[in-house]
Structure 1
Amino acid sequence: MKKSLIMLAVGAVLSLSACDNNSAQNQSEQKTTEQTKQVKAGAAYNKLVDQFFKDQLALNPLMATFVGVSDYNDQFGGDLTEKYLKDRHDLNQSYFDKVRKIDRNALSPDLQLSYDLFAYDRDMSLIGETFPDRWLPINQFYSTVITMVQLGSGESAQPFNTVADYKNWLSRLDGFIDWTKLAQQRMDEGIENKVVLPRVLVERFIPQLQAQIVAKPEESIFYSPINNFPESFSADDKTKLTAEYQSMIVEKLMPAFTSLEKYFVSTYLPNARASDGWSAMPNGKKWYQYLANSHTTTKLPVDEIHEIGLKEVARILSEMDQVREKVGFKGDLKAFFGSLSSESQYFFTDRQGLVDGYMDLKKTINKELPKYFNVMPVADYVVKPVESFREKSAAGASYESPAVDGSRPGIFYINTYNLKAQPKWGMTTLSLHEAAPGHHFQIAIKQELQGVPEFQRFSGYTAFEEGWALYAEYLGIEMGVFSDPYQYFGKLSDEMLRAMRLVVDTGLHAKGWSREQAIQYMKDNSPMAETDIVAEVERYMAIPGQALSYKIGQLKIIDLREKAEKALGTKFDLKDFHDQILTTGSLPMAVMEQKIDHWISSKK
């Protein structure tokens, strides 16, 4: 009996062992099948988005130049032609259809993230096509005209290293001249359909255009490459190119600028609208909601964004008053604003002093960065004043990304036009935002990424990029660079600007506010110089919704950080969190939240 029981037990063990072996083998086979499926899906996805990127650059030659692809440097493109509009639609629709045929669940986690980003882009682009932005091709804050002037200066992305480079630029200018004519036709269509710029914005752009009309070719910024020939050029090359550039400027470029200027003065200005907000135009409310969603990468209703802004303004005013008390200022907060905005001790007396001050700040901040970041950009950045031709209407500061090939550093532009608009107490926060670890880190690191699809390295979302830059100001508190209460006030002042934007942008475009009402609101709630306030409000009028992205993006990043800190406790590492935010490129808010949630789960 015992022997029978023993034999049964042995049989059972052998049977269980065989089941375990079969189970292990099945699991191994299943894992191999899943890996094979993942590899195939990944290869199909990467092939698709890489081809999309190539097709996108072929359709947008200027974009190709800015991302360091030189194949189209002699082409301008035709973003206002009917052919372009159809090709753009076909590109977005076809790739949206193709990507949805790929099994997202079969992709690796990183590629699932990329998939969501790519599908989001195509969907938003298709929705955007339903609004007639082609009828508004130019404004004082951003236009192809300004882009071409910057490229033609020889100090931007357009290369001027070889004779072929010089000739490429002449060919590209021919395309631009055709564009100026088509732009007038599109604006005529806008006039017919009552989709036009506010009068004040037209008045701001006309002087920018007039600044390009010169009597002699040597006076044009487009002549700059001739003044900066590479030493390798022969005398014969220099002579021929000089003649060609002079001919281009005199016979083609100046007549094109003159014609465009005449059109703006004689035709467009008289037909510009008296209203200031987007909602005054046909379908304007729906259009503005789309722009708000597009820039913030959220589905927040504009009324909710307005309310968030009002609450943030109230909170920041309270903190500003605490700083006033801390420094012992005897008057009220409005008097404190007045003191900080007017007393000479708070301002530089010469332009170079302002630029040098930012170079000194760069050294101070750079010493702290390794404590907070594992990944930092290889590219450096330099500080430059805004060019004279656009300084009157340009923002107080801006950032231009470095060359993809490393041949040019990033540029932190400072507007030195009005030194009273550049207080010393605002320098630390502005440097953190525009340079390191703000825009310079986010954009340069994105360009330097390896092993991610090309489109992901060069796509961008304002909410992510500006949200990160505003978060960089917030991080400055931990970095210890706001130990001076006046510099901390500067941080609050800049944060107030971003909070007021939520109120003013939505006020202008969704609630019927006038330009004057928006200006007064900002004067009442901040120490900003009036020239800066006017430029800001007119910027919101020109590119509605863009200004919403800063504060909405920052609040989301802070929310995700607090969520991770609470979930991970002692396992939370700030450097790792920053790696998660910065090392997959620019992301829509929902996709970024999905990534951080996955990271939290993996750390647990």
Structure 2
Amino acid sequence: MNRFWKKTSLLALSSTLALSLIGCSKPDAKEEQKAFASFMKDEFVDTMESEYLLINTYLEDPKAYGIDMSKVKVNLGSRFDAKTAKSDYKEMQKAYEEFEGFDRDLLTKEQQDEYDAYEFQQSLALEMGEQEYDYYAQLFSSMSGLQFQLPTLFADWQLDSEEEVVQMLTCLSDVRAYVKSALDYTKKQSEKNLLMTDIDAVIEYCDRIVASGENSSVLTSIKENIDKSGMKGEQANIYKEQARAVFTESFIPAYQDISATMKEIKKAGKNNSEGYAKFENGKEYYELFVQQNIGSDKSVEDVKKMMEDAYDEYLREMTAVVMENPEEVEPIVSQQLPSTGYKSYTEILDDMKSKITKEYPKVKNLEYNIKNMNTEVASDGIAAYFVIPKMDGNPVKQLRVNPNGADPSSISTFSTVSHEGFPGHMYQYAYMSENVDSNFIKALSNNLAYTEGYAVYAQMNSLKYLEDKEINSALLDAYRLNELTTYCVIVLADIGIHYEGWKLDEFVTFFQDKGLYLPDDQALEMYNQLQANPAAFMPYYVGYAEFKELRENAETALGERFDVKEFNQAILESGTVPFEVVERHVDAYIEAK
């Protein structure tokens, strides 16, 4: 029963009658919008001022955004200790309580996008930061852990002034202290039986960094970037010598520390070889972690059904393609795929830049630059990656590619470039830069499923362009469906390990039931990768499934009135947001048609 019906006093009745006579005082929409804009600006500034690396990543001119650099501590970021975590949590709670005071209905449509993105992200972060999940976050995952992030950070650090060189060297000198806090956290995590990583993979990578010493390609890249900073002669040489000294005194010892700590943990046997399901609150944490990685409030069971249905659909379609075109698809079985004829990454990007104009909205600036990635990153099998551009910086987009002999004429390389370049990330960020005003959405709305899901959507849709290269459409369909079927299996296996508690034998049985027979060493390697990197593939494959479903719904609703360019604009115009916001934009497109 509504509590207001329980009021029986004359005073309460009199108050109700009075309100009905004089009317309710409504908040002024313009004032609410102004207050919300001020709140979001303050959140942006406060977050930037609290983490120097955010400024370095996103802003060329921080002062233009109201950021006071005298308040910014130049280092690698907050430490991984209980005191810092408690303080950060309280600050987040305080901001969220203020946020809850806004009336969403009074905001503009653009502000409602911001509101929903902020609410989704912060509410999840608060839940995941609760005490029962202490030490559940894994810092040294074998695919994207701290040990991988640091070489990429320093190798890609663009230096445009002497001040930036000094700041970079300050951060370089902070590496060992920063890593120490992460290792202290990991030791406590191990003591609590909450560590879950592929220790051998971490040790192997770190030992390789240590062995390179002063010959490290990371240090070489740092010196090259100093040369490009505008300084010349003796001054540049002085800073390069400082970089060498700091690298050997802080960076290399940090990797020695990681390796030594991991060896100690391995010797003590304090590392879990199974998934989150083994932890006391593991299934609950994994569900939140999945939602954070898929950009929606779908449950694990929802995701599981989504992937099972998609797998069945892709398998049916692939079977039909193979049965109808056995000779055309045989190269997939023999792994002798035809050549695309492209001779370079540049040729692929320039060709795609012209071809996508029919299906994707116009973007003014699609200038780009290609550079070989750092060899110590490239050695881990990364084909290419896109460097996130600064919001107010050089509009030329940066693509890093693997220098270790990737064949530009292969279908695989074309697929990767479509994902990272045009019409994938490179195009996506160019569009967002020109069409999205919200600084929060462009820099702080951390919805990986939107960015990666869109890039897979762009990648899969781009395969048809290879028909112009005289590659059979049936073969391209089979290639695409084979990729998508594999994606579904990977996500389902991830859920099996971390939510249903699969051990290695159950993992192998699952693959056998799907008709996939893995050698023992390969099965163990795959199990270890998924076990040590929970939900790592979900942003790509669940994100793609969300975009695919949105498009199918629009095509069904509109029939011949469906326009792919208008649909792509609808999914791009919101920027990096949860899928409920993207869906709202697609619904508006459908209604408008």
TM-score of the aligned structures, taking structure 1 as reference length: 0.80
Q: In 2, distance between residues paired with 1:544 and 1:314? A: 24
Gaps of 5+ in 1: 1-32
Deviation of 1:150 after TM superposition, in Å, equals 1.5
Pick from 34, 57, 66: which aligns with 2:48? 57
**Counterpart residue type for residue 369 of structure 1:** I
| Within-5 A mapping of 1:311-350 | 311-329=309-327, 338-340=333-335, 343=336
Query: Taking structure 1 as reference, are residues 394 and 65 closer, same or farther at Cα in structure 2, changes over 3 Å only?
Result: farther
Pick from 491, 504, 509: which aligns with 2:493? 504
Tell me which residue corresponds to 1:145.
Answer: 147
Q: In 1, distance between residues paired with 2:496 and 2:136? A: 25
> What secondary structure, in the 3-state scheme, does the structure 1 residue paired with 2:575 have?
coil
> What secondary structure, in the 3-state scheme, does the structure 1 residue paired with 2:386 have?
strand
| Aligned residues of 1:140 and 1:204 also touching (Cα < 8 A) | yes
| Aligned residues of 1:383 and 1:412 also touching (Cα < 8 A) | yes
Deviation of 1:123 after TM superposition, in Å, equals 0.6
Tell me which residue corresponds to 2:586.
Answer: 596
Q: List per-residue Cα deviations over 1:50-82 (Å, max 9, x = no partner).
A: 110111122222222211256458322224133
**Counterpart residue type for residue 497 of structure 1:** T
Tell me which residue corresponds to 1:437.
Answer: 423
| Within-5 A mapping of 1:392-431 | 392-407=379-394, 409-413=396-400, 424-431=410-417
Tell me which residue corresponds to 1:213.
Answer: 210
Pick from 257, 260, 265: which aligns with 2:258? 260
Q: In 2, distance between residues paired with 1:446 and 1:538? A: 37
| Aligned residues of 2:265 and 2:271 also touching (Cα < 8 A) | no
> What secondary structure, in the 3-state scheme, does the structure 2 residue paired with 1:275 have?
coil
CA RMSD of aligned residues (A): 3.7
Q: In 1, distance between residues paired with 2:531 and 2:287? A: 14
> What secondary structure, in the 3-state scheme, does the structure 1 residue paired with 2:179 have?
helix
Tell me which residue corresponds to 1:163.
Answer: 162
Deviation of 1:274 after TM superposition, in Å, equals 5.0
1:541 is aligned to 2:527: no
Q: In 1, distance between residues paired with 2:233 and 2:292? A: 52
Query: Taking structure 1 as reference, are residues 411 and 315 closer, same or farther at Cα in structure 2, changes over 3 Å only?
Result: farther
Query: Taking structure 1 as reference, are residues 473 and 194 closer, same or farther at Cα in structure 2, changes over 3 Å only?
Result: same
Query: Taking structure 1 as reference, are residues 152 and 558 closer, same or farther at Cα in structure 2, changes over 3 Å only?
Result: closer
Tell me which residue corresponds to 1:23.
Answer: none
Query: Taking structure 1 as reference, are residues 79 and 527 closer, same or farther at Cα in structure 2, changes over 3 Å only?
Result: farther
1:563 is aligned to 2:553: yes
**Counterpart residue type for residue 221 of structure 1:** V
| Within-5 A mapping of 1:4-153 | 37-68=28-59, 71=69, 74-130=74-130, 131-133=133-135, 136-153=138-155
Tell me which residue corresponds to 1:367.
Answer: 354
Tell me which residue corresponds to 2:17.
Answer: none
Q: In 2, distance between residues paired with 1:418 and 1:122? A: 43
Gaps of 5+ in 2: 1-24, 63-68
Tell me which residue corresponds to 1:4.
Answer: none
Q: In 2, distance between residues paired with 1:219 and 1:468? A: 35
Q: In 1, distance between residues paired with 2:311 and 2:154? A: 41
Deviation of 1:372 after TM superposition, in Å, equals 1.1
Q: In 2, distance between residues paired with 1:434 and 1:537? A: 27
Tell me which residue corresponds to 1:250.
Answer: 248
Tell me which residue corresponds to 1:182.
Answer: 181
| Within-5 A mapping of 1:479-494 | 481=467, 483-494=472-483
> What secondary structure, in the 3-state scheme, does the structure 2 residue paired with 1:291 have?
helix
| Within-5 A mapping of 1:513-532 | 513-515=502-504, 518=507
Q: In 2, distance between residues paired with 1:543 and 1:447? A: 31
Question: How many pairs are equivalent?
Answer: 554
Deviation of 1:357 after TM superposition, in Å, equals 4.7
Q: Which is worse superposed, 533-542 or 113-122?
A: 533-542
**Counterpart residue type for residue 176 of structure 1:** V
| Aligned residues of 1:425 and 1:486 also touching (Cα < 8 A) | no
| Aligned residues of 2:373 and 2:402 also touching (Cα < 8 A) | yes
Percent of residue pairs bearing the same amino acid type: 17
> What secondary structure, in the 3-state scheme, does the structure 1 residue paired with 2:548 have?
helix
Deviation of 1:315 after TM superposition, in Å, equals 2.7
Q: In 2, distance between residues paired with 1:178 and 1:548? A: 32
| Aligned residues of 1:191 and 1:271 also touching (Cα < 8 A) | no
**Counterpart residue type for residue 105 of structure 2:** N
Deviation of 1:203 after TM superposition, in Å, equals 0.8
Pick from 497, 520, 544: which aligns with 1:554? 544
Q: In 1, distance between residues paired with 2:539 and 2:274? A: 20
| Aligned residues of 1:95 and 1:122 also touching (Cα < 8 A) | no
Q: List per-residue Cα deviations over 1:30-63 (Å, max 9, x = no partner).
A: xxx99x9332222111110111011112222222
TM-score of the aligned structures, taking structure 2 as reference length: 0.82
**Counterpart residue type for residue 153 of structure 2:** L
